[in-house]
């Protein structure tokens, strides 16, 4: 998602996640919420997975979710929210920085890329960026593109 | 391949398969299993390790104590359980492990990494058919912090190194983020010293190939699309991993060993109950699981083959009666 976060009025409760990078896009939403006297909670820099799961699981129906920050962090919040049952209409996710580190499945080179599909700059293998993230490498797994290997694997 | 098909660790107890915590107490409580394929598999392992060292071995520096504990556990078990093949001589901190199957001896000072040319886990793994993984338990979670892995089923040790248990299983459909996965994680974290567990995991693979890492999947994966009803029985293999879990008390880590067994599907013809079970498991398996296990491209072909074998068997029975 690009551009800015859109204020959605009339929800029962708002849950906001932001890190350092996400504060500036999230602040206009906070101002709107205060202006409209709507109940909200802001979680700043919360990167303990268990705490994110707990926070999202404890929300009642009618809660609206905003998350803004570095890509791997908001992607994970997006994943968890989806698995808990938040639909696309109940949240807005904004990833800051449109490039991410990708780990080549074949030669292990980590490279920064912006496309979903690319050829590895080192070994030339055609790779697709998955959502499997390594905190250790701070990179997503790039796995074999289907043109090399049909219908297989994560 | 075992001489007797009925000795194969067949993975199915029923006619359907779902992920579950299928671990049972390991009896006898022994990590390494030396089979008839020992020499062949050790040779393959050594070649893979020398040609692809980063693919086959990874470790984080804080695992050294756990690695030595794994060495201690495995070499004592080799000495005690396979006395004709292995002998361990201990004198103070000095150790000599004699491997009569390869004609080698490993001589080193226990706990002194300088006395070995490889890291401890990378040394002992060269003497057993098992892949060896060390999971560190810290901050209330399990982390894959060291491993010697030559025979992975389509995953990358180099990518997964340092990863938490839940993140490792992120790609597994129906398991990622589930209560079951959390239950299994808690179960492993409670494993006690001297009380190891074992579970079987399975998939299907093409040809007798143990080394199917993610790194080379673009080449071995292609073979899945060449299956026909004529060759599918001979070429597809039931791949079963006997996975054992041991607590290493000194470092409070887990040793996770994986012994991979392969059996060509056509060998199941000798065991009618297994033949029928494999067929019904494949017919019933949810699509996402079939895709994850890599068998989706040839599932229909294999089912057709298995049904054909079962039907011809019934015909034979009728003919015999007549």
ipTM computed for the complex: 0.90
Is A82 in contact with A61 (CB distance < 8 Å)? no
Q: Which positions in chain B touch A153 (Cβ < 8 Å)?
A: 154, 171, 214, 217, 221, 291-292, 294
Is B242 in contact with B261 (CB distance < 8 Å)? yes
CB of B215 within 8 Å of a chain A CB? The answer is yes
Chain A residue with minimum CA distance to B298: A151
What's the gap in Å between the CA of B293 and the closest CA on chain A? Answer: 7
Is A49–B166 a contact, with Cβ atoms under 8 angstroms apart? yes
CB of A140 within 8 Å of a chain B CB? The answer is no
CB of B125 within 8 Å of a chain A CB? The answer is no
Is A153–B164 a contact, with Cβ atoms under 8 angstroms apart? no
Long-range contacts of B225-231 (CB under 8 A, 24+ apart): B225/A150, B225/B297, B225/B298, B227/B297, B227/B298, B227/B301, B227/B302, B228/B301, B229/B301, B229/B304, B229/B305, B229/B308
Q: Which of helix, strand or coil describes residue B233? A: helix
Q: How far apart are CA B322 and CA B319, in angstroms?
A: 5
Residues in chain A where the model's pLDDT stays below 70: 1-3, 98, 115-116, 147-154
Count of CA atoms in the C-beta half-sphere (13 A) of B199: 13
Taking each helix axis as running N to C, give the angle between helix A71-84 and helix A49-57, from 0 to 180 degrees, rounded to the nearest 10. Answer: 40
Q: What's phi and psi for A97, nearest 5 deg? A: 90, 115
Q: What's phi and psi for B64, nearest 5 deg? A: -60, -45
Q: Write out the catalytic residue numbers of B.
A: 199
For residue B178, what pLDDT is reported?
A: 86
Tokens 């299993």 found at? B33
Transcribe B86-104 into DSSP letters. EEEEEETTEEEEEETTTTE
Interface of A with B in 2-31 (CB under 8 A): none
By CB atoms closer than 10 A (0-12, 13-18, 19+), residue A91 is buried
Q: Which positions in chain A touch B161 (Cβ < 8 Å)?
A: 136
Structure tokens of B92? 């103070």
By CB atoms closer than 10 A (0-12, 13-18, 19+), residue B36 is exposed
Neighbours of A11 (CB within 10 A): 16
For residue B3, what pLDDT is reported?
A: 55
CB of B297 within 8 Å of a chain A CB? The answer is yes
For residue B174, what pLDDT is reported?
A: 84
Interface of B with A in 170-209 (CB under 8 A): 170-172, 177
For residue A153, what pLDDT is reported?
A: 40
Is B159–A125 a contact, with Cβ atoms under 8 angstroms apart? no
Q: Note the Cα B140 to chain centre separation in Å.
A: 26
CB of B52 within 8 Å of a chain A CB? The answer is no
Query: Residue A87 has what DSSP assignment?
Result: -
For residue B251, what pLDDT is reported?
A: 98
Is A108–B292 a contact, with Cβ atoms under 8 angstroms apart? no
Q: Which positions in chain B touch A107 (Cβ < 8 Å)?
A: 215
Is A134–B160 a contact, with Cβ atoms under 8 angstroms apart? yes
Residues in chain B where the model's pLDDT stays below 70: 1-3, 313-322
In 3D, which of A134, A77, A12 has the Cα closest to residue B161?
A134
Rounded to two decimals, the pTM is 0.81
CB of A108 within 8 Å of a chain B CB? The answer is yes
Is B296–A152 a contact, with Cβ atoms under 8 angstroms apart? yes
Is A134–B291 a contact, with Cβ atoms under 8 angstroms apart? no
Is A105–B159 a contact, with Cβ atoms under 8 angstroms apart? yes
Is B294–A80 a contact, with Cβ atoms under 8 angstroms apart? no
Chain B residue with minimum CA distance to A103: B159
Q: How far apart are CA B189 and CA B254, in angstroms?
A: 8
Is B167–A133 a contact, with Cβ atoms under 8 angstroms apart? yes
Who among A83, A134, A154 is closest to B177 (CB)?
A: A83
Q: Which positions in chain A touch B162 (Cβ < 8 Å)?
A: 134-137
Chain A residue with minimum CA distance to B215: A106
Structure tokens of A139? 């990179």
What's the gap in Å between the CA of B122 and the closest CA on chain A? Answer: 20
Stretch (H or E) spanning B184 = helix B179-189
């Amino acid at each position: 998602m690009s551009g800015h976060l859109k204020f959605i009025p009339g929800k029962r409760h708002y849950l906001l996640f932001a890190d350092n990078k996400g504060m500036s896009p999230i602040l206009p939403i906070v101002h709107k919420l205060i202006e409209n006297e709507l109940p909200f909670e802001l979680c700043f820099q919360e990167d303990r997975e268990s705490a994110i799961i707990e926070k999202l699981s404890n929300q009642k129906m009618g809660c609206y979710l905003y998350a803004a920050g570095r890509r791997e962090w908001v992607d994970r919040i997006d994943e968890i929210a989806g698995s808990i049952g938040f639909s696309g209409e109940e949240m807005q996710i904004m990833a800051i920085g449109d490039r991410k580190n990708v780990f080549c499945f074949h030669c292990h080179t980590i490279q920064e890329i912006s496309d979903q599909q690319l050829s590895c700059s080192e070994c030339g293998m055609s790779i697709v960026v998955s959502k499997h993230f390594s905190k250790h490498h701070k990179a997503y797994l790039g796995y074999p593109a289907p043109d090399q290997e049909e219908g297989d694997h994560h | 391949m075992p001489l007797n098909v009925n000795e194969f660790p067949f993975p199915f107890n029923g006619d359907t398969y779902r992920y579950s915590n299928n671990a049972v107490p390991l009896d006898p409580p022994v990590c390494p299993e030396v089979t008839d394929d020992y020499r062949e598999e050790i040779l393959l392992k050594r070649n893979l390790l020398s040609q692809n060292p980063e693919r086959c071995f990874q470790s984080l520096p804080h695992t050294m104590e756990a690695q030595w504990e794994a060495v201690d556990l495995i070499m004592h078990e080799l000495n005690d359980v396979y006395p004709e093949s292995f002998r361990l001589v201990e004198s103070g901190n000095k150790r000599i492990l004699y491997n009569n199957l390869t004609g080698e001896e490993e001589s080193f000072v226990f706990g002194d990494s300088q006395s070995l040319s490889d890291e401890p886990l990378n040394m002992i793994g060269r003497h057993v058919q098992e892949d060896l993984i060390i999971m560190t338990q810290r901050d209330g979670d399990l982390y894959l912090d060291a491993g010697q892995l030559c025979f992975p089923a389509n995953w990358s040790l180099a990518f997964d190194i340092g990863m938490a248990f839940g993140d490792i299983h992120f790609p597994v459909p129906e398991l990622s983020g589930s209560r079951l996965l959390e239950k299994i994680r808690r179960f492993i974290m409670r494993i006690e010293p001297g009380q190891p567990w074992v579970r079987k995991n399975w998939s299907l693979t093409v040809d007798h190939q143990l080394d199917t890492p993610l790194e080379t999947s673009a080449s071995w994966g292609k073979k899945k699309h060449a299956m026909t009803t004529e060759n599918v029985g001979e070429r597809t293999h039931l791949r079963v991993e006997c996975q054992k879990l041991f607590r290493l008390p000194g470092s409070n880590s887990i040793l996770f060993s994986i012994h991979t067994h392969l059996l060509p599907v056509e060998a199941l013809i000798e065991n009618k109950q297994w033949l029928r079970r494999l067929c019904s498991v494949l017919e019933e398996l949810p699509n996402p699981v079939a895709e994850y296990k890599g068998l989706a491209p040839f599932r229909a072909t294999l089912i057709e083959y298995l049904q054909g074998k079962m039907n011809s068997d019934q015909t034979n029975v009728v003919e015999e009666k007549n």
